[in-house]
């Protein structure tokens, strides 16, 4: 009943907007950054049970020319709101490396209120926050990488004026609602197994596998990944033990534990063998379905530690995927990982003691992670109830 009323109210607003266009009620022109949410977007929000000021999460896919906006729901998960076509992005598939290379960035970025630009020469814009800690630690430079209007780009993502207005309003309203920052995850393509195999010979295959860990985490949990940088590498969904929350991006990784994103409880007490037999998560219209639960539980502790690379090797030979571990036969993994097991050169004869356990781990020599990073979380997930 309430949703029906909201939809009717939004339709009335749409009719009024058709009469006034870009003019206020007194005939004055409305500045783009002060406009209200378009009526069509209000209708869609109401139909999906979303609110204008709920937190947002953004994903970008270069190859598909798509920008997705997701909205947080009452249970803490994010649901797909809308996919916008990207009018133009510059460069090739692969990350931005240096100023002037005209490459649009790839990676995990954070947007805060001060990065919104209502006075952009490209109508409206927001700064992606490039370079981030990962980019800087790897010697990458550049500045003013934006998502903006118009349909021309030199290292940015151009959305057209009409679409950037709606995206800008969604960001602005989320900040009004109390969100202090939102993530933009920029990917070269949808990081399915098929696409990863198709691009396995790229010089950036190793880098893309590190991005896939964050991609798979969101596909599975529907919560933006918690991203950190140490040893010049991305780490997803970890807490550092006895250290500050933000380690030195260039220093060896301190000891950390894998954590589960904060999602609605449902299966956290279910035995691993039963979780492995649950069916695959339901598909969201127009969005890649979430990885199977069994895949996220199929890593052994040693495989999990081997996920971290010591250095990026653009010319590295692609690594074949490892066989899937029998989940029903596997034991729950110990979440604690030592700094020495993640990064920091050691002799081949050295081993690292696991805190609180009698087993020992050999230091990792940083082989590239396998393609199926959804199975590299190293903990029992707590997915939301199946739909």
Q: Which residues are identified as catalytic? A: 148, 156
Q: How far apart are CA 234 and CA 213, in angstroms?
A: 9
The three-state secondary structure class of 296 is helix
Local structure of 284: helix, strand or coil? coil
Alpha-carbon distances of 199 from 84, 206, 219, 281, rounded to whole Å: 24, 11, 20, 26
**3-state SS assignment for residue 48:** coil
Measured CA to CA, the distance from residue 219 to residue 291 in angstroms comes to 7
Q: Give the β-pairing of 256-258 and 146-148.
A: unpaired
Note whether 334 and 367 are within 8 A (CB).
no
In the chain the beta strands, taken as DSSP E runs, fall at 56-61, 66-72, 78-85, 88-89, 107-111, 116-117, 125-127, 146-148, 157-158, 182-187, 227-230, 233-236, 238-240, 256-258, 336-337, 352-353, 360-361
**Beta bridge pairs of residue 107:** 186
Residue bearing tokens 């959305």: 159
Output the 3-class SS for 324-386. Answer: CCCHHHCCCCCCEECHHHHCCCCCCCCCEECCCCCCEECCCCCCCCCCCHHHHCCCCCCCCCC
Task: Tell me which residue of 270, 267, 272, 333 sits closest to 299, measured CA to CA.
Answer: 333
CA distances from 49 to 74, 79, 111 (A): 9, 10, 25
The SS3 call for residue 233 is: strand
Measured distance CA(159)–CA(170) in Å, rounded: 14
Token pair 């800087």: residue: 136
């Amino acid at each position: 009943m309430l949703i029906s009323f909201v939809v009717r109210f939004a339709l009335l607003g749409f009719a009024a907007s058709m009469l006034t266009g870009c003019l206020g009620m007194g005939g004055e022109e409305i500045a783009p950054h002060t406009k209200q949410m378009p009526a069509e977007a209000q209708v869609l929000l109401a139909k999906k049970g979303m609110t204008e000021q709920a937190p947002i999460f953004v994903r970008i896919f270069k190859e598909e020319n798509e920008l997705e906006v997701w909205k947080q729901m009452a249970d803490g998960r994010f649901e797909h709101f809308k996919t916008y076509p990207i009018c133009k992005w510059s460069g090739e598939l692969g990350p931005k490396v240096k100023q002037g290379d005209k490459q649009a960035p790839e990676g995990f970025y954070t947007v805060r209120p001060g990065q919104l630009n209502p006075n952009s020469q490209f109508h409206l814009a927001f700064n992606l926050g490039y370079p981030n800690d990962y980019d800087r630690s790897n010697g990458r430079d550049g500045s003013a990488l934006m998502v903006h209007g118009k349909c021309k780009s030199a290292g940015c993502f151009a959305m057209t004026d009409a679409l950037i207005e709606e995206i800008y309003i969604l960001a602005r309203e989320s900040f009004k609602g109390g969100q202090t920052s939102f993530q933009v995850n920029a990917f070269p393509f949808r990081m399915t197994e098929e696409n990863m195999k198709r691009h396995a010979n790229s010089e950036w295959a190793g880098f893309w596998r590190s991005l896939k860990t964050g991609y798979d985490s969101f596909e599975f949990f529907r919560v933006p990944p918690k991203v950190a940088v140490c040893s010049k590498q991305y780490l997803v969904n970890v807490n550092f033990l006895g250290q500050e929350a933000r380690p030195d991006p260039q220093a060896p990784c301190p000891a950390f534990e894998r954590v589960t994103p904060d999602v609605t409880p449902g299966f956290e007490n279910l035995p691993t063998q039963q979780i492995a037999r649950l069916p695959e998560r339901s598909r969201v219209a127009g969005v890649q379905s979430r990885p199977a639960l069994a895949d996220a539980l199929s890593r052994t502790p040693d495989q999990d530690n081997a996920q971290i690379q010591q250095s990026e090797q653009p010319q590295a030979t692609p690594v074949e995927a490892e066989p899937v571990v029998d989940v029903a036969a596997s034991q729950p993994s110990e979440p604690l990982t030592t700094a020495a097991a993640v990064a920091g050169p050691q002799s081949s004869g050295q081993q690292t003691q696991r805190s609180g356990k009698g087993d020992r781990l050999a230091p990792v020599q940083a082989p590239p992670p396998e393609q199926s990073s959804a199975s590299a979380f190293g903990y029992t997930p707590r997915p939301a109830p199946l739909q």
